[in-house]
Amino acid sequence: SSEVLEAIENVIQGVLQSLAQKKAPVLTVANRADWRNIEFKDSVGLQMIPHCTTKQIRSDCPRSATRFALMLKILSMIYKMVQSNTYATKRDIYYSDTVLFGSQSAVDRIINDISCMLKIPRRSLHILSTTKGFVAGNLSYTEEDGTKVNCTCSATVCIIKQNHLNRKDLISHAKFILIVEKDATFQRLLDDDFFNKVSPCIMITGRGVPDLNTRLLVRKLWDSFQIPIFSLMDADPHGVEIMCVYKYGSVSMSFEAHHLTVPSIKWLGLLPSDLKRLNISKDALIPFTKQDQNKLASIQKRPYIAHQPLWKKELEIMAASKLKAEIQVLTSLSQDYLSRVYLPNKLQFGGWL
């Protein structure tokens, strides 16, 4: 915490020095969204280059003055929370003054900019993410108040919390981890008691694009157990993008890649080539929208795809067919096809990329 306070004090000192010299104060932040500031490294994923281009948030420019003020406001809130050892969610910060902040996304962007500017991980700033991820399966731990939590019985779905991420007492006999894109598929696998039937495993869902806590937990489990991690996504550009976030990280959080990415994650399904192999009727598939085409074209250009020739082939199949499929399409073969046939066969015969 002293490191956080010192980093904030240095920023404020810079602002005061500028004022003392009758200059307009300026905050300098990295250009997080610029692909030219990102490099791809096989062992880490997308990471920010050491000497990246920056942008100035000026206090004397109409376009950036509001942002400058909001950054100082949130810095002061963080400073008070670290001093008093209290915490707030991003939503708490937004709702403390909705008129001032304007939108939740503005708050989220500023918090990431501050984290990047101070070179301090967001969780050390005493700001909690509102968690939406779930974990279930062969995993147990003890809560801070001494409560023992066991995710092994299929009725127990644990919400992924910030305090899971510092745990030293995680216990598991899982043979693998399965990341599931959607909540509906996750619940279906729970109903079918999948994680007990095939072999003990841990299932995680970020319920769409994963939040920070879900990504941190996947990384924590990988560091703790070093077991294979598979991803089960829709066969569409959005599903591929979500899988890439878990595996290689995102451009906007590339400054934290070392704590967030797990480059060993494998693509288990749903593969575009599976649709033909399983004779899925074309009537059950969904035609691409213009947005899908653009998203796929953007993914195909990313630096990590060149390192994944088999992924590249799958994306080419998707691009040529201009059709996408949700995991639920497997129910057209039989109600429990996913848990009874598809996943056991894939896991047994190595059907992943």
Cα separation of 85 and 82, whole Å?
Answer: 5
Residue 156: per-residue pLDDT: 62
Other C-beta atoms closer than 10 Å to the C-beta of 281 total: 10
Residue 54: per-residue pLDDT: 81
Residue 52: per-residue pLDDT: 79
Residue 150: per-residue pLDDT: 81
Summarised one tens digit per residue, pLDDT across range 238-283 is 999 999 999 988 877 777 777 888 889 999 989 999 998 898 888 8
Q: The domain containing residue 81 runs over which residues? A: 2-128
Residue 154: per-residue pLDDT: 56
- Label residues 204-227 b or e (16+ Cβ within 10 Å = b): bbbbeebbbbbbbbbbbbbeebeb
Domain count, the chain: 2
**Domain end (from 128, 143, 159):** 128
Cα separation of 75 and 81, whole Å?
Answer: 10
**Domain end (from 128, 155, 173):** 128
Out of 95, 246, 248, 304, pick the active-site residue: 95
Residues 90 and 163 occupy one common structural domain:
no
Residue ranges in the chain whose pLDDT is less than 50? none
What distances in angstroms separate CA 341 from CA 174, 194, 212, 336, one per listed residue? 20, 11, 32, 8
What distances in angstroms separate CA 61 from CA 29, 112, 202, one per listed residue? 16, 22, 51
Residues 99 and 142 occupy one common structural domain:
no
Residue 155: per-residue pLDDT: 58
Residues 190 and 305 occupy one common structural domain:
yes
Residues 95 and 190 occupy one common structural domain:
no
Residue 164: per-residue pLDDT: 62
Residues 309 and 222 occupy one common structural domain:
yes
Summarised one tens digit per residue, pLDDT across range 75-107 is 999 999 999 988 888 889 999 888 889 899 899
**Domain end (from 128, 161, 181):** 128
Residues 100 and 157 occupy one common structural domain:
no
Q: What are phi and psi for residue 329, nearest 5 degrees?
A: -60, -25
Indicate which CATH number applies to the domain containing 92. 1.10.10.10
Indicate which CATH number applies to the domain containing 230. 3.40.1360.10
How far apart, in Å, do the first and last CA atoms of the chain sit?
Answer: 42
Cα separation of 94 and 40, whole Å?
Answer: 34
**Is there a catalytic annotation at residue 337?**
no
Residues 94 and 46 occupy one common structural domain:
yes
